[in-house]
Amino acid sequence: MIDLLVTGGAVLTADAEDTYVPDGAVAVHDGRIVAVGTAAELGASHPARDTVDARGCLVLPGLVNAHAHSAMTLFRGRADDVDLQVFLARLVAAESAVLTAEAVETAVRLALAESIRAGVTTAMDMYWFPEAGLAAADQAGFRLVTGPTFMDVPGPPDGLDFAERLRRAPELLRGSATRCVTPHSAYTLDPEQLLAVAELAREHGALLHIHAAENAVEVETVRGRYGCRPVELLHHLGLLGPGTLLAHAVCLTDAEIALIAASGAGVAHCPVSNLKLASGVARLPELLAAGVPVGLGTDGAVSSNALDLFAPIRAAAVLHRATPGGATDPTAIGARTAVRMATAEGARAIGIGALTGSLEVGKAADLVVLDLNRPHLTPRHDPWSMLAYAAGPADVRDTVIGGRVVMRDRRLLTIDESAAIEELTALAATLPEPSGRIGVPT
């Protein structure tokens, strides 16, 4: 007797062979996938305590958000129509004024409700008070990959200087199932601080997740201080490697792409956020051609305004078809590649490809049931194309994380959604007025 059988739907596994079972099923026990096959085979061989009837649906791996700042739901709409530097100035001031552990937990809870509704089952998160985010994720049954955050700015929300934050970090890392450290960037931390954080990551076998080369101003800022570009600096300091994930990586030279590829580092591509902040268009085709593991991220709900990964999937699939030089290539990325960046390749990029990202025996039972009985999903000639070009978060019917059904028939089971909305609305009402008019740099 297994715990759960998801049966009757078309199953897209995103495994190495891109196995697709038109009338399939996924058997789940103790949080893991124990079998994938036809509905008839698994129905006969795996009696289950609970069943999800997926007839008329597509079953796919849970989506992996490779770069997020979940608690930024609190500031959604507060820094729109500005560039990255103005955005950061406004955001850092607001964070310093209002953030507490309790506020972060409230904001993350709403973010997880939004994410689960959108079929996201894992997120790589970088934010203040990571222990509060982990507490919200534990209650919601969500896989939040996060850890100690380092950003050396005046008046940090947690009131800790860099040395004290570094001293406290091991306790948080020891208590995390998936370990990472999240230094913000090479322009908010100096080389000595970056080296200390890298050593912390090595000591604890943790992934190192850092913003790098997000826009041209950042590149020039770092070059002006240290005489080299952000990725070059990380290379010189020894921070590039198979345990490193670079967020954005928009402004890269050929030499930097080669450095990233040779090191084994991954990239979190955030096309919607990059476009909204006018940061530029990442060289995704070149990164993939070089063999760099690339996942898709939403970034925070301030820079992208939504934690919906379907939008980055679609943007990644179409954005890179026209280059600045005028050349066009309709096959530059494509539907299958974009969807895999939000599933198997996204999990690989954030260092947990052995755990999740595809529907395979032994992996965590993280899966999504997508309702296909929708006008915009009819007819269905190709599941990859449908997911990349037509599907959206409203099509997600059921979400399962680690074998636990956290949303069934579009009803959240682990989060009181109404309460989460009310709590965040009340918290947002306490925010000070932003400096200057919205959309006008000050």
180-233: pLDDT as tens digits: 999 999 999 999 999 999 999 999 999 999 999 999 999 999 999 999 999 999
Confidence (pLDDT) at 54 = 98
CA nearest to 143, candidates 197, 64, 89, 216: 64
Ranges 158-172, 365-379, 427-441: which has the least confidence: 427-441
- Report how far apart, in Å, the C-alpha atoms of 201 and of each of 174, 196, 411 are: 12, 9, 38
Strands (E), 129-252: 143-145, 149-150, 180-183, 207-212, 244-248
Ranges 135-144, 315-324, 365-374: which has the least confidence: 315-324
Indicate the pTM of the whole model: 0.95
Encoded tokens for 214: 């997000």
**Matching CATH number, 63-349, of 3.10.50.40, 3.20.20.140, 3.40.1500.10, 3.40.50.720:** 3.20.20.140
The helix (run of H) or strand (run of E) holding residue 367 is strand 367-371
pLDDT tens readout for residues 32-57: 999 999 999 999 999 999 999 999 99
Confidence (pLDDT) at 82 = 85
Looking at the chain, the domain(s) classified CATH 3.20.20.140 span: 63-349
What angle is formed at CA 153 by the lines to CA 152 and CA 156, rounded to 5 degrees?
100
User: What confidence category does residue 325 fall into, taking pLDDT thresholds of 50, 70 and 90?
Assistant: low
CATH architecture of the domain with range 2-61+359-410: Roll (2.30)
CA nearest to 31, candidates 362, 343, 354: 362
Confidence (pLDDT) at 435 = 57
Encoded tokens for 127: 């934010």
Looking at the chain, the domain(s) classified CATH 2.30.40.10 span: 2-61+359-410
pLDDT tens readout for residues 334-353: 999 999 999 999 999 999 99
**Percent of the chain at pLDDT exceeding 90:** 86
pLDDT tens readout for residues 223-281: 999 999 999 999 999 999 999 999 999 999 999 999 999 999 999 999 999 999 999 99
Confidence (pLDDT) at 155 = 87
Phi and psi angles of residue 161, each rounded to the nearest 5 degrees, phi first: -85, 175
Q: What is the mean pLDDT of the chain?
A: 94
Cβ partners under 8 Å of residue 157, min gap 6: 95, 96, 99, 100, 128, 129
